[in-house]
Amino acid sequence: MSRVIAIANQKGGVGKTTTAVNLAACLAVAEQPTLLIDMDPQANATSGCGVPATEVEPANIYHALLGHRSAEEVVRKTNIPYLSLVPSHVNLAGAEVEMVNMIAREQKLDGMLAGIKDRFTYTVIDCPPSLGLLTVNALTTADSVLIPIQCEYYALEGLGKLLNTIRLIQRHLNPSLQIAGVLLTMYDARLNLSRQVAAEVKSYFGDKVYKTAIARNVRLAEAPSFGQPIVLYDILSPGAQSYMSLAGEVLSHG
């Protein structure tokens, strides 16, 4: 059975792209056919998989959403067996404006994926840091949403808006959308603040909080600049072990 997981939080800098790239890579390393979709115009998930912007100009998620290319034309292989990528490009920034007057504009991604998602056990979508039309498309097609929350001041600020958006989408566009889980990122067990934020998140979300927390890790921060997920860059690093552990939790939830 195919599962579609959107990684969403409209707050920037919470580890969305790091989580999307590394969770997708770890699922692929576990020999699960996995598709990573970069829905962020910044295209960091694309470059984090070693694909330069110049390579994706003729065929990327922008062309597929607007119907200029088929899904097959925008899916590409990566350096990791079992992991495929739908790349993004800076021109995706204009897609929200171009889609505004389209019929069923919230379901463009769902329509694009209809013919290909069954080829993959997991589809992971990296959402942009906003609650605009691109994120709405991702949540409309997803089975579940994974919410990364950084263990810093204001961690829960703005989360109400995201949860409200999820509720609206459940009511009007995707009744089966669930919260897959909440992931604590940038965790430092030595800091009172990290422990306080973790306790606050757990008191609010209960057993929806993943047991795995992603600690701050230099190797994890370096990996994107080499165009590699952490399992390729340094599989023995704590960051790689954390994301392998998260992938294990995702796999065990069916």
Structure confidence at residue 86 (pLDDT) = 97
- Among the listed residues 45, 136, 124, 28, the one whose alpha carbon sits nearest the alpha carbon of residue 81: 28
Q: Each residue of 158-194: pLDDT tens digit? A: 888 999 999 999 999 999 999 999 999 999 989 999 9
Q: In the prediction, which pLDDT does 235 show? A: 95
pLDDT at 156 over 70: yes
Summarised one tens digit per residue, pLDDT across range 206-225 is 999 999 999 999 999 999 99
Q: Say yes or no to pLDDT of 67 above 70.
A: yes
Instruction: Give the chain's domain count.
Output: 1
Asked if pLDDT for residue 1 goes beyond 80, the answer is no
CATH of the domain at 220: 3.40.50.300
d(CA 244, CA 190): 23
Of 14-28, 50-64, 212-226, which range is least confident? 50-64
Mean pLDDT of the chain: 94
Give me the percent of the chain exceeding a pLDDT of 90: 87
- Residue 62 CB-density burial (10 A; 0-12 exposed, 13-18 middle, 19+ buried): buried
Least confident of 12-21, 152-161, 172-181: 152-161
Residue 134: the pLDDT is 96
Q: Encode pLDDT of 82-137 as tens digits.
A: 999 999 999 999 988 898 888 999 999 999 999 899 999 999 999 999 999 999 99
Structural domain that includes position 136:
3-252
pLDDT at residue number 254 = 58
